[in-house]
Chain A
Amino acid sequence: GAVVSQHPSRVICKSGTSVKIECRSLDFQATTMFWYRQFPKQSLMLMATSNEGSKATYEQGVEKDKFLINHASLTLSTLTVTSAHPEDSSFYICSASGDQYTNYGYTFGSGTRLTVV
């Protein structure tokens, strides 16, 4: 149980274009979803937290207009990297929780490797 599907796993896009990454909870309702970014040899950095039906909460230093997050349903959250640039190339990971204050670890997606050329 508690599976999170993230799609696509890899994407290459041209500079200036936008890319959408999907995160789906397959067998549970995710009231809260989290988006992380991982740079090479660095830890996962939380970018934003999204609650179903409300605006995402972004961490300090994360550009809201560049990284658009939508959590329109209890099973789907999307991250859109707008006007992507090479410095946006990174590994993006989502995680989901059915309870914001769960006593369990969150379920993670398998990640999306974004390369902007």
Chain B
Amino acid sequence: AQSVSQHNHHVILSEAASLELGCNYSYGGTVNLFWYVQYPGQHLQLLLKYFSGDPLVKGIKGFEAEFIKSKFSFNLRKPSVQWSDTAEYFCAVRGSGTYKYIFGTGTRLKVLA
């Protein structure tokens, strides 16, 4: 079955702490991988994406993610979080060449000032 699993539902960090949010997927075939962020009261925004090439991708606002094919993972990282990173983060998978996203359940991050 096709699925995306985000293990951490709620994460609370202090400012300047390092962040890693886990994402594992189950999908037969080549995939495109995405991380989206939803700030309070705002729409989903693309943080970063992976299609091919260097498995370490860098996105906006200092975020990066690493695709580890053997582990079916695409974890999101940021070395030092800020209060403004408080948001909900969604990992998503899409079969290469298809249009349908499969989303994870989201991780709600709260950064304490």
List residues of A whose CB falls within 8 A of some B CB. Answer: 4, 6, 32, 34, 41-46, 49, 93, 95, 97, 100-101, 103-106, 108-111
Distance in angstroms between the alpha carbons of A70 and B52 in the assembled complex: 35
Could you tell me if A110 and B101 are in contact, using CB atoms closer than 8 angstroms? no
Q: Which residues of B contact A105 (CB under 8 A)?
A: 34, 36, 46, 49
25 example contacts (A-B, Cβ-Cβ < 8 A) are as follows A6-B43, A34-B101, A41-B105, A42-B105, A43-B102, A43-B103, A44-B90, A44-B101, A44-B103, A45-B103, A46-B101, A49-B99, A49-B100, A93-B43, A93-B44, A97-B99, A100-B99, A101-B97, A103-B51, A104-B49, A105-B34, A105-B36, A105-B46, A108-B36, A111-B43
A43 and B43 in contact (CB under 8 A), knowing A97-B99, A101-B97? no
Nearest Cβ distance between residue B13 and chain A, in whole angstroms? 20
Q: In the complex the two chains form, what is the Cα distance from A44 to B34 in whole Å?
A: 14
Which residue of A43, A93, A97, A100 has the most chain B CB atoms within 10 A of its CB atom? A43
Is residue B7 within 8 Å, beta carbon to beta carbon, of the partner chain?
A: no
Per the bound structure, the CA–CA distance linking A70 and B45 in Å amounts to 25
Interface residues on B, range: 20 to 34
A-B interface, 10 closest residue pairs, ranked by CB to CB distance from nearest: A105-B46, A108-B44, A110-B43, A43-B103, A44-B103, A43-B105, A108-B43, A100-B99, A105-B34, A43-B104
Chain A residue at smallest Cβ distance from B49: A105
Q: A32 near B51 (CB under 8 angstroms)?
A: no
Contact check, A46 vs B105: say whether CB atoms are below 8 A apart. Answer: no
Which residues of the partner chain B approach A44 to less than 8 Å between Cβ atoms? 90, 101, 103
Q: Which of B42, B90, B99 is A43 in contact with, Cβ under 8 Å?
A: B90
Complex alpha-carbon distance, A95 and B43, angstroms: 10
Assembled-state Cα–Cα distance A103/B98 (Å): 10
A42 CA to B99 CA, complexed, in Å: 21
Which residues on A sit within 8 Å (CB–CB) of B105?
41-43
Q: Is the CB of A101 within 8 A of B9?
A: no
Q: How far is the CB of A114 from chain B (nearest CB, A)?
A: 16
User: Is B109 part of the binding interface, using a Cβ–Cβ cutoff of 8 Å?
Assistant: no
The smallest C-beta distance from B58 to any residue of chain A, in angstroms, reads: 15
